[in-house]
Copies of this chain bind each other. A is one copy, B any other.
Amino acid sequence: MALEADLVIIGAGSGGYEAGLYAYRRGLKTVLVELSPETVGGNCLNKGCIPSKFMRYGAHLLERFSLMERWGIIPGEPSLSYESLKKHRDEVVVTIRENFKKFAGQIDLPILYGKGVVEDRNTVFVEGLGERIRTKFILLATGSKPSGAGDLVPDGKRVLDTDQVWDIEDFPKKVLIVGGGAVGVEFAYILRAYGSEVVLVELKRRILPVDDIPEDSARYLGRKLKKIGVDIRTKTSVERWESTPSGVKAYLSDGTEVEADFILLAVGRRPNTQGMGLEDVGVELDERGFVRVNEYSQTSVSNIYACGDITSPLMLAHKAMYEGKIAVNHMIGGNQWKRDERIIPKIIYSAFEVASVGLTEEEAEDDGYEVKVGVTSFVPNPKAMDDGENEGFVRIVSDEESGEILGCHIVGPHAGELIHQVIHMMRAGLDVEFASKSMYSHPSLSEAIGQSASEIFYGPISWVKK
């Protein structure tokens, strides 16, 4: 006999488990289906943002060593242990994963292990387990997997993808990173800070080559990465490569050769939408293989919803979590809470934190706004100076006529936390006058947000508004 549920969520990654907790909270009898006990938490927790941010913090600490004398601390040269880094990194991951499973158990939010297949619009079959669940609603939250690139086929030894890189046993002497997106620049920073030689190749004309991260942010980060010794080659690709006794030798399109311990492939990800019965039940995919969803994260089949990496190339854990909750809210009759892509931030944790939300200056102009921009540097910010992190800037993009905040782009210390102030303002429709006249503690990094808004509202300090 089949199990009965209000909601079956296929995939217990960031989107699935956040949606599961939310559904539980809203009173839905919910079942999570996940491949195995080891994959609960999905890519972000197990092979993505959580372990990378852990290592990034270590890189940040290491970078501090050359500055410590400033605070009267004269440290010796530290020795490094990849083993210790990996052990503690994995401990954080496992702790979060086990906590979640334990908590799900306590509140009676069952997780069934196996591959979830949609048999019909009200039935999910769990392969492996052989269990069948009858349900009112289904939420697809199956995430994504790393893409390959031509003959750069990940083998876990010479060519590693971002699923495999976690298993290396020591810091590489030299690494060739292919792809200058978020993951590429994060690993470039981490490995360089821990002493590896790093070559980063990017096919396009700049790192972070996406429209929603402004040129200025990408170039500011690029200069810093170069300064710490990352060899960045833009407009460059790997033409061919071969194994060597000690690793790989790659022939680049700029005519040079790079020998390295391995190649780290960071060229993007593709959605997990195959082999789970979506076609049979009528869930529409777009031409790139993403599940089509509306503003409530509802698919073309009205009781089936989807969230996260399978809905668009904007593959961010918090997007998945947000969409998952909006989906659940809609299932139980809420239709006020809608997906608003404008307020989903992109945050990169590299040599700087690079945070973006909403429109860039260029995008705003293309959309026909009379754009007015306010920029404040962290260089003279007293708190940033105290902390020895006075690099970067806050840039607010606004509409001149209405004062509407269209976007915000922050590079520098704690950009990933600071940007939430502007996210909330954008969501609430607050304008630059509000941001200018709000309260900012002194000294704080946050002051730079108020100052950027004031640059727009009153004009730059160097001229006078009557």
Residues 331 to 354 of chain A near chain B (Cβ within 8 Å): 337, 343-345, 347
* A315: B residues at CB distance < 8 A: none
* A417: B residues at CB distance < 8 A: 414, 417-418, 444-446
Docked complex Cα distance between A343 and B437 (Å): 12
**Quick check: which of A79-87, A233-241, A268-276, A288-296 contacts chain B, the rest being far away?**
A79-87
Docked complex Cα distance between A86 and B70 (Å): 9
Q: Tell whether A385 pairs with B92 under 8 Å between CB atoms, given A74-B81, A84-B70, A446-B420.
A: yes
The answer to the question of A388 belonging to the interface, with a C-beta cut-off of 8 Å to chain B, is yes
Docked complex Cα distance between A94 and B81 (Å): 40
Docked complex Cα distance between A25 and B383 (Å): 24
* A68: B residues at CB distance < 8 A: 61, 78
Are A385 and B425 in touch, CB under 8 angstroms? no
Docked complex Cα distance between A24 and B460 (Å): 11
> Closest residue to A326 on the B side, CB-wise?
B437
Q: Tell whether A49 pairs with B442 under 8 Å between CB atoms, given A74-B78, A107-B462, A465-B25.
A: yes
Residues 407 to 466 of chain A near chain B (Cβ within 8 Å): 414, 416-421, 423-425, 427-428, 430, 434-435, 437-446, 449, 454, 458-459, 461-462, 464-466
Docked complex Cα distance between A69 and B380 (Å): 33
Docked complex Cα distance between A337 and B441 (Å): 18
The answer to the question of A38 belonging to the interface, with a C-beta cut-off of 8 Å to chain B, is no
* A435: B residues at CB distance < 8 A: 424
Query: Chain A interface mostly helix, strand, loop or mixed?
Result: helix
* A343: B residues at CB distance < 8 A: 438-439
Are A55 and B75 in touch, CB under 8 angstroms? no
Q: Tell whether A464 pairs with B27 under 8 Å between CB atoms, given A344-B439, A443-B49.
A: yes
Are B427 and A428 in touch, CB under 8 angstroms? no
Q: With both chains docked as a complex, state the minimum distance between the C-beta of A165 and any C-beta of chain B, in angstroms.
A: 16
The answer to the question of A50 belonging to the interface, with a C-beta cut-off of 8 Å to chain B, is yes
The answer to the question of A53 belonging to the interface, with a C-beta cut-off of 8 Å to chain B, is yes
Are A70 and B88 in touch, CB under 8 angstroms? yes
Are B427 and A424 in touch, CB under 8 angstroms? no
* A437: B residues at CB distance < 8 A: 325, 337
Are B434 and A428 in touch, CB under 8 angstroms? yes
Q: Tell whether A441 pairs with B318 under 8 Å between CB atoms, given A72-B83, A73-B61.
A: yes
Q: Tell whether A71 pairs with B54 under 8 Å between CB atoms, given A26-B458, A386-B92, A417-B414.
A: yes
The answer to the question of A58 belonging to the interface, with a C-beta cut-off of 8 Å to chain B, is yes
* A58: B residues at CB distance < 8 A: 70-73
Query: A316-B442, A321-B442, A420-B439 given. 6 additional CB < 8 A pairs?
Result: A49-B442, A50-B386, A72-B83, A416-B444, A424-B438, A428-B428
